[in-house]
Amino acid sequence: MALSRMAVNSTRELKQDHVTVRRIRDIAQRCSDKLYAGEEIPLEDIQILSVVIEEFIDAFHHGKEEKAYFPGTEDKSEVYSEEIRKFLIEHEFGRRVARMMQRNLKDWKAGINAREPVARFLKTYAVFITDHTGKEDKFFDMVEEMKSLSAEEDRELVRHYEICRKDVGGSARVEELFRLIGYLEERAWMK
Protein backbone atom coordinates (compact mmCIF):
# COMPACT_ATOMS: atom_id res chain seq x y z
CA MET A 1 0.00 0.00 0.00
CA ALA A 2 2.83 2.41 0.81
CA LEU A 3 4.20 1.97 -2.71
CA SER A 4 0.96 3.02 -4.40
CA ARG A 5 0.81 6.08 -2.15
CA MET A 6 4.40 6.90 -3.05
CA ALA A 7 3.71 6.41 -6.75
CA VAL A 8 1.63 9.58 -6.81
CA ASN A 9 3.67 11.60 -4.33
CA SER A 10 5.47 13.75 -6.92
CA THR A 11 2.23 14.43 -8.80
CA ARG A 12 0.29 15.24 -5.65
CA GLU A 13 3.01 17.62 -4.54
CA LEU A 14 2.59 19.61 -7.76
CA LYS A 15 -1.19 19.59 -7.33
CA GLN A 16 -0.72 20.85 -3.76
CA ASP A 17 1.54 23.62 -5.11
CA HIS A 18 -1.38 24.64 -7.31
CA VAL A 19 -3.42 25.35 -4.18
CA THR A 20 -0.76 27.88 -3.16
CA VAL A 21 -0.44 29.21 -6.71
CA ARG A 22 -4.19 29.89 -6.70
CA ARG A 23 -3.84 31.82 -3.45
CA ILE A 24 -1.26 34.00 -5.20
CA ARG A 25 -3.66 34.34 -8.14
CA ASP A 26 -6.37 35.56 -5.78
CA ILE A 27 -4.01 38.19 -4.38
CA ALA A 28 -3.03 39.34 -7.89
CA GLN A 29 -6.69 39.53 -8.95
CA ARG A 30 -7.73 41.46 -5.85
CA CYS A 31 -4.80 43.85 -6.26
CA SER A 32 -5.76 44.43 -9.91
CA ASP A 33 -9.41 45.02 -9.01
CA LYS A 34 -8.47 47.53 -6.30
CA LEU A 35 -6.05 49.37 -8.59
CA TYR A 36 -8.70 49.65 -11.31
CA ALA A 37 -11.13 50.96 -8.68
CA GLY A 38 -8.65 53.73 -7.87
CA GLU A 39 -7.86 52.45 -4.41
CA GLU A 40 -4.40 52.85 -2.93
CA ILE A 41 -2.22 49.80 -2.49
CA PRO A 42 1.28 50.18 -1.08
CA LEU A 43 3.79 49.73 -3.88
CA GLU A 44 5.84 47.64 -1.44
CA ASP A 45 2.98 45.12 -1.30
CA ILE A 46 2.89 44.88 -5.08
CA GLN A 47 6.67 44.41 -5.04
CA ILE A 48 6.28 41.57 -2.52
CA LEU A 49 3.64 40.00 -4.77
CA SER A 50 6.06 40.29 -7.69
CA VAL A 51 8.78 38.52 -5.70
CA VAL A 52 6.37 35.74 -4.67
CA ILE A 53 5.33 35.24 -8.31
CA GLU A 54 8.93 35.14 -9.48
CA GLU A 55 10.30 32.93 -6.73
CA PHE A 56 7.43 30.63 -5.74
CA ILE A 57 5.54 30.19 -9.00
CA ASP A 58 8.24 30.57 -11.60
CA ALA A 59 11.49 29.45 -9.96
CA PHE A 60 10.16 26.90 -7.47
CA HIS A 61 6.92 25.42 -8.83
CA HIS A 62 7.58 25.77 -12.55
CA GLY A 63 11.17 24.75 -11.82
CA LYS A 64 9.96 21.43 -10.38
CA GLU A 65 7.79 20.88 -13.43
CA GLU A 66 10.38 21.91 -16.01
CA LYS A 67 13.50 20.38 -14.45
CA ALA A 68 12.00 17.16 -13.10
CA TYR A 69 8.37 16.25 -13.69
CA PHE A 70 7.97 17.08 -17.36
CA PRO A 71 11.25 15.44 -18.43
CA GLY A 72 10.26 12.41 -16.32
CA THR A 73 6.84 12.02 -17.94
CA GLU A 74 7.11 13.34 -21.50
CA ASP A 75 8.39 10.08 -23.00
CA LYS A 76 5.52 8.09 -21.47
CA SER A 77 3.04 9.03 -24.19
CA GLU A 78 2.73 11.18 -27.30
CA VAL A 79 -0.22 12.87 -25.62
CA TYR A 80 1.99 13.74 -22.66
CA SER A 81 4.74 15.21 -24.81
CA GLU A 82 2.27 17.41 -26.69
CA GLU A 83 0.65 18.62 -23.47
CA ILE A 84 4.05 19.31 -21.92
CA ARG A 85 5.10 21.33 -24.97
CA LYS A 86 2.00 23.51 -24.48
CA PHE A 87 2.67 23.89 -20.75
CA LEU A 88 6.23 25.06 -21.41
CA ILE A 89 4.94 27.68 -23.86
CA GLU A 90 2.43 28.81 -21.24
CA HIS A 91 5.16 29.04 -18.59
CA GLU A 92 7.07 31.38 -20.89
CA PHE A 93 3.92 33.44 -21.42
CA GLY A 94 3.50 33.75 -17.64
CA ARG A 95 7.13 34.85 -17.27
CA ARG A 96 6.67 37.54 -19.89
CA VAL A 97 3.51 38.87 -18.26
CA ALA A 98 5.27 38.94 -14.87
CA ARG A 99 8.28 40.77 -16.36
CA MET A 100 6.02 43.36 -18.00
CA MET A 101 4.27 43.92 -14.68
CA GLN A 102 7.64 44.27 -12.92
CA ARG A 103 8.86 46.74 -15.54
CA ASN A 104 5.77 48.91 -15.09
CA LEU A 105 5.98 48.63 -11.31
CA LYS A 106 9.58 49.88 -11.49
CA ASP A 107 8.40 52.86 -13.59
CA TRP A 108 5.62 53.56 -11.09
CA LYS A 109 8.06 53.50 -8.19
CA ALA A 110 10.20 55.98 -10.18
CA GLY A 111 7.29 58.41 -10.36
CA ILE A 112 5.67 57.47 -13.67
CA ASN A 113 1.95 56.73 -13.30
CA ALA A 114 1.81 53.07 -14.29
CA ARG A 115 -1.25 52.11 -12.24
CA GLU A 116 -3.23 50.87 -15.27
CA PRO A 117 -0.52 48.69 -16.84
CA VAL A 118 0.34 47.16 -13.44
CA ALA A 119 -3.36 46.42 -12.88
CA ARG A 120 -3.69 45.00 -16.41
CA PHE A 121 -0.70 42.69 -16.11
CA LEU A 122 -1.80 41.48 -12.66
CA LYS A 123 -5.24 40.69 -14.08
CA THR A 124 -3.68 38.94 -17.08
CA TYR A 125 -1.46 36.91 -14.75
CA ALA A 126 -4.45 35.89 -12.62
CA VAL A 127 -6.36 34.73 -15.73
CA PHE A 128 -3.26 32.83 -16.89
CA ILE A 129 -2.97 31.03 -13.54
CA THR A 130 -6.64 30.01 -13.57
CA ASP A 131 -6.44 28.58 -17.08
CA HIS A 132 -2.98 27.06 -16.76
CA THR A 133 -3.38 25.30 -13.41
CA GLY A 134 -6.74 23.89 -14.50
CA LYS A 135 -5.15 22.28 -17.56
CA GLU A 136 -2.16 21.03 -15.60
CA ASP A 137 -4.40 19.50 -12.92
CA LYS A 138 -6.21 17.54 -15.65
CA PHE A 139 -2.83 16.39 -16.97
CA PHE A 140 -1.71 15.35 -13.47
CA ASP A 141 -4.98 13.46 -13.00
CA MET A 142 -4.32 11.62 -16.27
CA VAL A 143 -0.78 10.70 -15.18
CA GLU A 144 -2.14 9.35 -11.89
CA GLU A 145 -5.03 7.51 -13.55
CA MET A 146 -2.73 5.85 -16.08
CA LYS A 147 -0.22 4.99 -13.32
CA SER A 148 2.46 6.34 -15.63
CA LEU A 149 5.16 6.65 -12.99
CA SER A 150 6.78 3.73 -11.22
CA ALA A 151 7.55 4.00 -7.52
CA GLU A 152 11.24 4.44 -8.34
CA GLU A 153 10.52 7.17 -10.91
CA ASP A 154 8.37 8.92 -8.36
CA ARG A 155 11.10 8.78 -5.71
CA GLU A 156 13.58 10.18 -8.23
CA LEU A 157 11.24 13.08 -9.03
CA VAL A 158 10.84 13.87 -5.34
CA ARG A 159 14.65 13.92 -5.02
CA HIS A 160 14.79 16.37 -7.92
CA TYR A 161 12.20 18.56 -6.17
CA GLU A 162 14.64 18.92 -3.28
CA ILE A 163 17.23 20.27 -5.74
CA CYS A 164 14.62 22.78 -6.95
CA ARG A 165 13.98 23.80 -3.33
CA LYS A 166 17.72 24.41 -2.86
CA ASP A 167 17.81 26.39 -6.11
CA VAL A 168 15.40 28.96 -4.63
CA GLY A 169 17.23 29.25 -1.32
CA GLY A 170 16.22 26.10 0.53
CA SER A 171 13.38 25.26 2.86
CA ALA A 172 13.86 28.46 4.84
CA ARG A 173 13.25 30.60 1.74
CA VAL A 174 10.21 28.55 0.70
CA GLU A 175 8.79 28.98 4.21
CA GLU A 176 9.48 32.73 3.98
CA LEU A 177 7.55 32.84 0.69
CA PHE A 178 4.60 31.15 2.42
CA ARG A 179 4.79 33.78 5.18
CA LEU A 180 4.80 36.55 2.55
CA ILE A 181 1.69 35.06 0.92
CA GLY A 182 -0.01 35.01 4.32
CA TYR A 183 1.12 38.59 4.96
CA LEU A 184 -0.40 39.77 1.68
CA GLU A 185 -3.64 37.89 2.34
CA GLU A 186 -3.98 39.75 5.66
CA ARG A 187 -3.40 43.25 4.27
CA ALA A 188 -6.30 45.68 4.63
CA TRP A 189 -6.67 46.05 0.84
CA MET A 190 -7.32 42.29 0.57
CA LYS A 191 -10.39 42.55 2.82
Q: Judge whether residue 3 has pLDDT over 90.
A: no
Q: Judge whether residue 95 has pLDDT over 70.
A: yes
Q: Judge whether residue 168 has pLDDT over 90.
A: yes
Reported pTM: 0.93
Domain boundaries, the chain: 7-190
For domain 7-190, the question of CATH label 1.20.120.520 is answered with yes
Contact 81, 74 (CB under 8 A): yes
Residue 187 DSSP one-character state = S
Q: What is the DSSP string of 73-135?
A: HGGG-HHHHHHHHHHHHHHHHHHHHHHHHHHHHHHHHTT---HHHHHHHHHHHHHHHHHHHHH
Rounded CA-CA distance 24/22 in Å is 5
Mean pLDDT of 34-58: 98
What is the tens place of the pLDDT at every residue in 10-44? 999 999 999 999 999 999 999 999 999 999 999 99
What is the tens place of the pLDDT at every residue in 123-152? 999 999 999 999 999 999 999 999 999 999
Mean pLDDT of 74-92: 94
